[in-house]
């Protein structure tokens, strides 16, 4: 199989390899934020694992705006064996200014993607977040705030037939496992 490096610089590849080496030595968790190319998550995990990184200690973030179809998401989850993170909860604007050709999905659609992974027995590799990185996302400045997942997403998950145990898996067990084991 031929692998085509999709990164702009060799530095990015070396950074992923160095992350794997450090992770292997320290047994620490790591998180990757891929670019907007749909092939980036798979390429990152391939480089990371070839360099000795433990997939069970890795998160691939921003999958809700990078891997756009449920089928491709399932294929990635099967191949990568890492945590698949939906970390844009609270971003409810379909226009994604950093990649205008991508229709940003809504929280309801994010929940449907998580449900898809649940239905395929992959819930133990899913993490949720709300990527609050600017003050306009805080409640004080009119944003959705740090309580968004508990106040808005969890009730919607219950309406979509997620059990309390499944919600605990997403909000308690998976983060604990990623951070501690």
Q: Which domain holds residue 144?
A: 10-180
Taking residues 120-127, report their average pLDDT. Answer: 95
Q: Is the pLDDT of residue 31 over 50?
A: yes
Residues 6+ apart with CB under 8 A from 170: 114, 123, 126, 127, 128
Q: Which helix (H) or strand (E) holds 83?
A: strand 83-86
Total number of domains in the chain: 1
The reply to whether 51 falls in a domain is yes
Predicted confidence at residue 104, as pLDDT, reads 76
Average pLDDT, the chain: 89
Q: How many residues does the chain have?
A: 181
Q: Which residue has the higher pLDDT, 145 or 61?
A: 61
**pLDDT category, 53, cuts 50, 70, 90?**
very high
Predicted confidence at residue 89, as pLDDT, reads 82
32/160 Cα distance (integer angstroms): 29
The reply to whether 4 falls in a domain is no
**What is the domain-level CATH number for residue 46?**
3.20.20.140
**pLDDT category, 85, cuts 50, 70, 90?**
very high
Residues 6+ apart with CB under 8 A from 83: 58, 59, 60, 125, 126, 127, 174, 178
Taking residues 41-64, report their average pLDDT. Answer: 95
Q: What is the pLDDT of residues 143-164, one digit of tens each?
A: 888 888 999 999 999 999 999 9
Q: Is the pLDDT of residue 100 over 80?
A: no
Token readout for 118 is 């649940």
Predicted confidence at residue 124, as pLDDT, reads 95
Token readout for 139 is 């409640």
Q: Is the pLDDT of residue 68 over 90?
A: no
| Gyration radius (Cα) of the chain, Å | 16
The reply to whether 3 falls in a domain is no
């Amino acid at each position: 199989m031929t692998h085509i490096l999709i990164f702009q610089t060799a530095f990015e590849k070396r950074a992923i390899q160095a992350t794997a080496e450090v992770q292997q030595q320290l047994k620490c968790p790591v998180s990757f934020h891929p670019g907007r190319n749909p092939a980036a998550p798979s390429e990152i995990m391939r480089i990371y694992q070839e360099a000795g990184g433990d997939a069970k200690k890795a998160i691939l973030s921003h999958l809700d705006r990078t891997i756009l179809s449920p089928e491709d998401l399932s294929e990635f989850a099967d191949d990568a064996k890492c945590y698949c993170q939906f970390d844009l909860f609270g971003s409810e604007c379909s226009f994604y200014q950093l990649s205008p050709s991508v229709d940003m999905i809504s929280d309801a659609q994010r929940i449907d993607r998580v449900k898809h992974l649940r239905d395929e027995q992959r819930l133990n590799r899913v993490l949720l977040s709300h990527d609050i990185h600017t003050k306009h996302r805080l409640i004080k400045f009119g944003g959705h705030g740090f309580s968004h997942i508990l106040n808005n997403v969890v009730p919607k998950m219950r309406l979509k037939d997620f059990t309390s145990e499944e919600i605990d898996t997403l909000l308690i067990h998976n983060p604990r496992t990623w951070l501690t084991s």
